[in-house]
Each structure stands twice: as C-alpha cells, then as structure tokens.
Chains A and B, each alone.
Chain A
C-alpha cells in the first residue's frame, strides 16, 4: 500500500474505487465496460477529477462488489470539509476550491498535513485567547497594576511639584520628599511582586502549556517533595500509577525515568540509613556518601526528598540546563531560561568530583542567606568510546546569619528578574531593575 495514503476512512471516492479495482486485479477497461463508461472517464473518476454519482456510482459498486455507501462522499467528506475550512481561514489567498477533490485525491498526505496544521493553529489560538482573557480579567493582576499606576501617578505629580515650585514651604517639601520615598518603595515592592506572580503563576491554561519538567515538579510539590512509597516496592507501584496520570506524554516519560532512579536510590540509601548517617556525620553529603558507600549526588537527592526537608536542590546537565528544581523559601529558581551563572552549581560543573561550597545571598526584597554545596559527577554510558556525560547538583540550606569567616557571594535567580546592580555576570537587562 502507498505509504502516503491517508487512513481508509479519509479516502476520497475516486481513490477508493481505484484501490478496490486494484485489489481485485481488474484493469480500468474491464471495470469501465462493466459500468458502461469509457476507460478514460473512469481514469478521471479514479483520480477524483470527475465525480461518480447516482446510477453510475451504483454500477461501479456492483462491478467492484461493494456497497454504494462505501464509495460515497462520506468517507472523504471530512477531509474536504477541513480543506474548505483551511481555505476560508485565509481569505486573502484564494485557494482553487474547484480543484479541492483533485488536490485531496492526488496529495492525500499533504492534505492531511494541511488540515492537521489548521487544527493545531486553532488549538493554539484558543490557548492564546485564554491567556489573553486571563491577563485582562485576572483580579490579582488588575489590582497589582492599579496599585502601581497609583504609585506612578503620585510620583509623577509630586516630583513635578518639587521640580517646578521654587518657593515651596519647607514643611510641604519635607512631606513630599517622604511621599516620594514611600511611593518608590511601593513601586519596588509592587514590581517585584508582579514579576514573581507572572513568573510563577499557575492556572489551568498555563498548566496546559507547562513544560513537561514543570508538570513533574508540580506533582512532586503537591506531594510536599517526599515520596514515602519509595521505601517499599508495593508503594512504588502506586507512584507509577500516579505518574501515568500526568497530563503530557513527555511528563509521563520524565516521571517514569525519575521514579526508576528514585526507587533505585531509595534502595541503595534507605531513609533510616540516611538518617543514621546524618546523625553521625551531619549534613555534609560527601561524608554521608562515604559512610554509606553511595555517590554524592544520590545523597543530595535523598537528603532533599526527605520528609519536611527544609533544603532546596537544583541539578543540571553539562549544558547548564536545569534538570531538577526543588525550591526553598527565599531562593527563587528560574522557571524559564538560564539560571544565574554565579551559582556554585556551575562552578562544580566545570570541576567534576570536586566539592564546591559557598555562602550565598539570594537577591530579593529581603535578601536571604544560604549555604550552598555543589558537586558534579560524570559517567560514560557508552563506555570509553562514547561521550562523557556530566550532572551537577547543588543543595541549598537556609542560614540565619553568615559564618564569620565566610565571604558571602551575591547571586540571583535569572538575569531577567534579578535586581542586582553592577553584576559582572549580567547577560541581559532586568525587568525589575530601573535603568538610567
């Protein structure tokens, strides 16, 4: 069978007649004679350039030994309707509607691609409309924007008064200076909250458009980043069922791979063993790894996924792409795009098997301190003849204050939403940082 042919249900009548004739091993002349038409006319019918209707269709069905209904328009009608819809959707480019059957018959594969593309465009238009509707009517967004416009309005009027009024009373001047200060604070807080909201907002619409990794992380977050069922085989089955229920196929695949790894790691380092090792050695993953004879990254993941663990974890591959993000309060992990290049995670990535630790100050309205411990491991899945793959992990422990002897490294989330001025590593302007 021709590989470019669409499914049988989508075949046009002429194409069906041709296929049926060929399957019976009949020549065009034989069938044409049986139906009382010329072979050349049958050729036109078979290529959907002429339509067989009424008695003629009945005679052809009889010669070919099939019901008239199977040769009727209904089979390919949907495809033709879809093509007509496609033509109507671009009124500025008139399509040859009078040759639509010819087109569908001669290029069924391309016709199917065209209609599938149209369907996809329609689906995307609906998502855009939903997002647009949300931006317009979201009460939180509306209130935030109103708040910011009010502050901008006040700043504009007050600044103009101060700039244009030479003989302003000192009491009024003091009051206006104070108002300006208050409003600039409001603006800073409002802008940051707005950016955080837009960057981290979740709704049904955006969940539908969420990246597969995000879908998986949302599932883990809903389980408070702990999978108690990992500790026994029977429970793991339940987890697999849950992962199989994730929305996208890509997320289900990622989830299955994540569970396979998590189950193996839970077996290699059960919770009780981890807890005992940590009680003895503290929270240094390298010491725990040495004691329990497991890789450091396994310890990092097991530590981060303990019940109620107040510790963040980010993992990346050799390209710096974040593969796993478990957030911790006060340290914003980028949802889209690349992370801050100043993270110790990336230092470790360049120095496999070398521990990197640092005290970090995460940017934000209230800067927070963290102890970061990063480590990179490499592996050779295809042996010496294949590529070396790297994976780095970074644990983030919240700190109340920086240790006296430690230098604090100022880091951000991603340049786009980072408010640090004069950052030597900035690669794109910030949308929360006033420039000029």
Chain B
C-alpha cells in the first residue's frame, strides 16, 4: 500500500489525518518540524507528501522548492495544506510545483479522495 509522509506541526490535525489514512490502508509517517522534512522524504521514500504551508524552522514553500530542485523528488506528488487567507502563499506554492491544495478546515472525505487520486497516478 502507498506510503504517505505527513509534514504538519499541529499535532491534533496530524493525528486525525494519520488515523483517517491509516484506516484506508495507507502507511503514514508523520513529521512535525520543517527542518526534518527534507531528510524525512529521503528516508521514507513516500508516494505522496502532505505538506503544511506554515511550519516551524522551514516553511512548506521552502521544502517544496527543495523537493522540486532534487531530480529524485522533482515529480513526487505533493499536497499542500493551506488556511484560508493564505492566497498569496498559495499562488507561490502553485508556481513552485504543488500538485494539489487542501484548504483548512477540510472534510475527511475530501482528504481521502485527494490522497486516493494523488497516489493512483
């Protein structure tokens, strides 16, 4: 089954997503700090990265840019978690190569459907 790397500093959101996706059979690896994200991608070799935009130490946008700059992860599907009101950041992430955006607060069904679509590529 597909492996999902979840990079989200809000512990409670992270636990909820981890629970939802685990029940659907995904293997979920969770990281809570931006600085650990890039190495976690290399270690976990995920099929999908769910990346929060606002993270401590390294922003989601920086992480995305770094992933896209690396040939090994340039095509790795990345779903960005954004909050309403982050329109400008979202535009920047779109330009940097994000595959999908999920706006907080999101429904669990939308999250499941998006993960299903991105891992079925």
* Interface residue ranges, A against B (CB under 8 Å): 142, 145-146, 149-150, 152-158, 160-161, 164-165, 172, 175-176, 179, 182-183
Contacts and interface: CB of A to CB of B under 8 A. Distances in A.
Contact of A182 (B12, B16, B83, B108): B12
B75 interface: no
Interface in B35-92: 54, 83-86
Nearest to B104: A153
Contacts of B108: 157, 160-161, 164
B54 A152 contact: no
B17 A157 contact: yes
Contact of B16 (A149, A152, A161): A161
Contact of B85 (A142, A172, A175): A142
Contacts of A142: 85
A42 B44 CA distance: 93
Nearest to A186: B12
B23 A153 contact: no
A165 B19 CA distance: 11
Which of the listed residues A157, A158, A160, A165 has the most CB atoms from chain B within 10 Å of its own CB?
A157
B15 interface: yes
B95 to A, nearest CB: 21
B106 A149 contact: no
Contacts of A183: 12
B20 interface: yes
Given A154-B13, A157-B13, A149 B20 contact: no
Contacts of A154: 10, 12-13, 16
Interface of A is mostly: helix
**A-B CB proximity, top 5 nearest:** A157-B16, A153-B104, A153-B105, A154-B12, A179-B12
Contact of B23 (A145, A165, A175, A176): A165
A149 B12 contact: no
Given A150-B83, A175-B15, A157 B20 contact: yes
Given A161-B19, A175-B15, 14 more contacts: A146-B54, A146-B83, A146-B85, A150-B10, A150-B83, A152-B105, A154-B13, A154-B16, A156-B106, A156-B107, A158-B15, A161-B20, A179-B12, A179-B16
A182 B19 CA distance: 18
Nearest to B84: A149
Contacts of A152: 104-105
Contacts of B85: 142, 145-146, 149
17 contacts: A145-B83, A146-B54, A146-B86, A149-B83, A150-B10, A153-B10, A153-B105, A156-B105, A157-B13, A157-B106, A158-B12, A161-B20, A161-B108, A172-B19, A176-B15, A176-B19, A182-B12
Contacts of B23: 165
B104 A150 contact: yes
Nearest to A168: B19
Contacts of A145: 83, 85
Nearest to B11: A179
A172 B86 CA distance: 32
A149 B104 contact: yes
A156 B106 CA distance: 8
Nearest to A148: B83
Nearest to B23: A165
B100 to A, nearest CB: 16
A175 B12 CA distance: 9
Contacts of B12: 154, 158, 179, 182-183
B13 A150 contact: yes
B45 to A, nearest CB: 26
B63 to A, nearest CB: 18
A339 B120 CA distance: 59
Contacts of A153: 10, 13, 83, 104-106
Contacts of B104: 149-150, 152-153
Which of the listed residues B13, B17, B106, B107 has the most CB atoms from chain A within 10 Å of its own CB?
B13
Which of the listed residues A142, A145, A149 has the most CB atoms from chain B within 10 Å of its own CB?
A149
A133 to B, nearest CB: 14
Nearest to B109: A160
A172 B107 CA distance: 19
A182 B107 CA distance: 20
